[in-house]
């Protein structure tokens, strides 16, 4: 099996490498033909821009062009105004780069490239231009032309010549995810799903959902992308996101019943377990819904905890049937190219909400401060020494700090990038002073460059070696500095290479001193932020934002899953049970029920939500366990809700309260209407 999948991948890698090299040579030749001053920038841009999937290349292309134009415009406006004050110019360029990086880190979509490129493009254009500020406009225009030419060539070749569409990659990941979710659903329905491996499985699916979301952002940029598929995938992803916390809720209710399941309910669970993994010949979902509705018990104020749990379980089982059926229908419609807006969906959920993403303003600001300091230190060294080629140092510090700012600890990646850049410097030296002097025409030049740059392309095509290939390809093309005539000078090349490495070393040292943090610190910060979000969710009484909440919490869950090994054991158990997410969804169920409840019940629920918000803020500050008075408030609200007349609002309130109780107090004694003190609290 492993061998059968490796050959297509290897062929795709070679094809991508050949396409990238062809695009780079096309960009170089056009730049030489129209006599651009630095044609090698067009070549280097191809290696920076190209991605194995055509949609990924196209999704970033427009934003790269816009970012380059914004950076060039900033250079024209800033450099002449401050060129006579080197210290002030350095500060302005550093602040511009830092502000752009800050916005880029908050965006977390392909659009973020616009802001990041706008930031360091000013450094790339502005620092070398200080020696000739009068020509800044021509330099900025030329640089924008060179980079835009490289982006256009990379995009055209990627989308026209043997394009690798994003759609099959997304479809394969979605199909795999749904298969895994069906198996997990079957295990939960059969009484499993509570082991360490099962909880890790849920967490892994959460992380894969984030990967699918990231990959799907490129789908709309595919050549000939199907609008129906793009819209259908958005709806399908929402259902997929809701499935994970739903399975956790079902597991909790089955665990709370602890074997107190009658024959009819047991038969239903077995039937559902078979149906969820069955193929197209499975029985109609309508039959299962009818059985679930027939088994649901009526509830009143003195109903037993087991009876309440059975009713709540059956409500969740009905939702499982609806979501599973919708996922199959949406996936089939997407595969058939049909309009998914016409697919009848059984599960009610808020639609039309843009995917919510986690934004850490403090960490983004911290990263921005790191790049500002790195640029200023390099500029101070450059100004103090009067080094003619010293402009490369702040340039590379800006690029390195920006490229890797999204990582917890960027320093190791910058070290590896610098090490492979040094390899590129050595390779370029061989080309410049041993090979290229003997070449007399462009055909031989292309043939000579092919072995090295084809290898760089193969490395870029493979995820595990992509950073190596990027360092070799982009920096190799830049430092090679090919022009229409050969004019290499070893002393000038050595000076440029040393300045390049000084910038890299400065980026590493200052990143370690200013910006590096452990994954554990980031994970704890994410957990605290999630508790704060729960508190806010409890306080915002009547807002129907279930989809936005799920998107935000699952986005954080995916980020946490990437750092799972660094999370303390106590927090791991909470995380891999999707506890915060499930409690938040139950809070939203309660809020949805508000307008259909009596004033007395509403007052009890509001009191409970206020205490829940305070408790969540306390957990966010690390104050420990949930308080006992919150459990009492939940039980009071339960008692009031059970006395309500049968209605959808009662159902929403019931599943919300039961979910919050089992989620926050899994080891608490069973609810009982006649518990000591409960009636007195109600009175």
426 is a domain residue:
yes
By CB atoms closer than 10 A (0-12, 13-18, 19+), residue 646 is: exposed
Kindly provide the b/e burial profile for residues 607-617, where b requires at least 16 CB atoms within 10 angstroms of the residue's own CB.
ebbebbbebbb
Q: How far apart are CA 559 and CA 175, in angstroms?
A: 22
Lowest mean pLDDT among 101-105, 280-284, 367-371: 280-284
Same domain flag for 45 and 79: yes
30 pLDDT higher than 90:
yes
pLDDT tens digits along 313-367: 888 899 899 988 888 888 888 777 777 777 788 776 554 445 577 888 888 998 8
pLDDT tens digits along 384-416: 888 777 788 888 888 888 888 888 888 888 899
DSSP 131: G
User: Helices 227-257 and 305-335: crossing angle, nearest 10°?
Assistant: 160
Same domain flag for 537 and 460: no
Same domain flag for 370 and 426: yes
352 is a domain residue:
no
379 is a domain residue:
yes
462 pLDDT higher than 90:
no
pLDDT tens digits along 299-325: 776 777 788 888 888 888 998 999 888
Residue 73: pLDDT band by 50, 70, 90 thresholds?
very high
Same domain flag for 74 and 109: yes
The domain total for the chain is 2
Q: What is the pLDDT of residue 468?
A: 92
| Residues above pLDDT 90, as percent of the chain | 16
pLDDT tens digits along 557-572: 777 766 765 566 655 5
Rg (CA), the chain: 30
Same domain flag for 460 and 550: no
40 close to 480: Cβ distance less than 8 angstroms: yes
| Residues above pLDDT 70, as percent of the chain | 86
Same domain flag for 479 and 592: no
624 is a domain residue:
yes
Same domain flag for 377 and 485: yes
Same domain flag for 462 and 579: no
Most confident of 297-306, 429-438, 491-500, 502-511: 429-438
Q: What DSSP line would sit under 441-463, residue for residue?
A: SHHHHHHHHHHHHHHHHHHHHSG
477 pLDDT higher than 60:
yes
> At a CB cut-off of 8 Å and minimum separation 6, what does 665 contact?
626, 631, 634
573 pLDDT higher than 70:
no
Domain membership of residue 649 as a residue range: 527-554+567-682
377 is a domain residue:
yes
Same domain flag for 49 and 141: yes
649 pLDDT higher than 50:
yes
340 is a domain residue:
no
Same domain flag for 532 and 678: yes
Q: What is the pLDDT of residue 624?
A: 58
Tokens of 343: 């697919």
* Residue 158 burial (CB count, 10 A): 28
For the chain, give the mean pLDDT: 81
Same domain flag for 543 and 430: no
Place of tokens 């019940």: 601
Closest CA to 537 of 601, 592, 600: 592
9 pLDDT higher than 80:
no
> At a CB cut-off of 8 Å and minimum separation 6, what does 253 contact?
309, 312, 313, 316, 658, 662
Same domain flag for 650 and 621: yes
417 is a domain residue:
yes
Predicted model pTM? 0.78
């Amino acid at each position: 099996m492993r061998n059968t999948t490796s050959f297509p991948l290897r062929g795709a890698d070679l094809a991508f490498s050949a396409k990238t090299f062809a695009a780079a040579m096309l960009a170089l030749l056009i730049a030489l033909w129209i006599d651009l001053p630095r044609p090698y920038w067009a070549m280097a841009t191809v290696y920076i821009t190209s991605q194995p999937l055509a949609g990924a290349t196209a999704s970033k292309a427009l934003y790269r062009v816009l970012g380059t134009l914004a950076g060039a415009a900033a250079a024209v406006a800033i450099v002449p105004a401050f060129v006579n004050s080197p210290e002030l110019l350095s500060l302005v360029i550093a602040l511009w780069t830092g502000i752009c990086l800050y916005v880029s880190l908050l965006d977390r979509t392909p659009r973020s490239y616009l802001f990041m490129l706008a930031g360091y493009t000013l450094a790339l254009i502005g620092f070398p231009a200080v020696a000739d500020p009068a020509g800044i406009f021509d330099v900025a225009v030329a640089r924008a032309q060179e980079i835009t030419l490289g982006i256009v060539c990379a995009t055209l070749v990627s989308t026209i010549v043997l394009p690798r569409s994003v759609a099959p990659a997304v479809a394969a990941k979605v199909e795999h995810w749904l298969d895994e979710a069906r198996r997990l659903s079957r295990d939960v329905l059969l009484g499993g799903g509570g082991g360490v491996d099962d909880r890790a499985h849920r967490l892994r699916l959460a992380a894969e959902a984030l990967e699918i979301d990231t990959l799907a952002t490129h789908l709309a940029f595919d050549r000939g992308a199907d609008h129906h598929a793009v819209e259908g995938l958005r709806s399908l992803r929402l259902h997929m996101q809701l499935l994970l916390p739903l399975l956790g809720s079902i597991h909790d209710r089955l665990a709370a019943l602890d074997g107190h399941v009658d024959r009819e309910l047991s038969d239903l669970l077995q039937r559902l377990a078979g149906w969820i993994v069955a193929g197209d010949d499975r029985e109609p979902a309508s039959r299962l819904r009818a059985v679930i509705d027939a088994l649901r018990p009526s509830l009143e104020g003195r109903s037993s905890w087991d009876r309440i749990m059975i009713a709540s379980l059956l409500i969740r089982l009905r939702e499982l049937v609806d979501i599973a059926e919708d996922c199959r229908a949406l996936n089939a419609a997407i595969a058939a190219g049909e309009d998914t807006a016409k697919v009848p969906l059984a599960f009610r959920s808020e639609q039309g909400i843009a995917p919510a993403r986690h934004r850490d303003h403090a960490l983004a600001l911290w990263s921005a401060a790191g790049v500002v300091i790195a640029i200023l230190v390099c500029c101070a060294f450059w100004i103090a020494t009067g080094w003619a080629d010293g402009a490369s140092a702040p340039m590379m510090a800006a690029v390195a700090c920006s490229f890797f700012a999204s990582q917890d600890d960027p320093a190791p990646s910058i070290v590896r990038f610098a090490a492979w850049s040094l390899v590129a410097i050595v390779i370029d030296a061989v080309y410049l002073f041993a090979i290229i002097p003997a070449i007399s025409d462009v055909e031989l030049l292309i043939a000579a460059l092919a072995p090295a740059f084809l290898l760089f392309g193969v490395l870029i095509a493979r995820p595990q070696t992509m950073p190596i290939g990027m360092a070799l390809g982009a920096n190799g093309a830049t430092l090679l500095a090919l022009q229409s005539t050969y004019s290499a000078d070893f002393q000038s090349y050595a000076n440029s290479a040393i300045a390049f490495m000084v910038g890299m070393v400065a980026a590493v040292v200052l990143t370690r001193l200013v910006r590096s943090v452990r994954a554990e610190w980031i994970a704890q910060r994410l957990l605290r932020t999630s508790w704060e979000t729960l508190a806010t969710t409890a306080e915002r009484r009547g807002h129907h934002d279930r989809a936005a909440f799920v998107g935000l919490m699952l986005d954080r869950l995916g980020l946490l899953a990437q750092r799972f090994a660094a999370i303390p054991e106590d927090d791991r158990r909470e995380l891999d049970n999707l506890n915060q997410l499930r409690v938040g969804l139950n809070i939203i169920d309660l809020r949805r029920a508000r307008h259909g409840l009596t004033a007395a019940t509403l007052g009890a629920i509001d009191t409970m939500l206020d205490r829940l918000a305070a408790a969540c803020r306390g957990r966010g500050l690390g104050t420990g366990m949930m308080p006992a008075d919150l459990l009492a408030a939940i039980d009071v609200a339960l008692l009031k809700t059970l006395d309500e007349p049968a209605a959808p609002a009662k159902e929403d309130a019931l599943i919300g309260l039961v979910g919050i109780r089992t989620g926050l107090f899994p080891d608490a004694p069973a609810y009982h209407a006649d518990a000591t003190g409960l009636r007195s609290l109600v009175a």
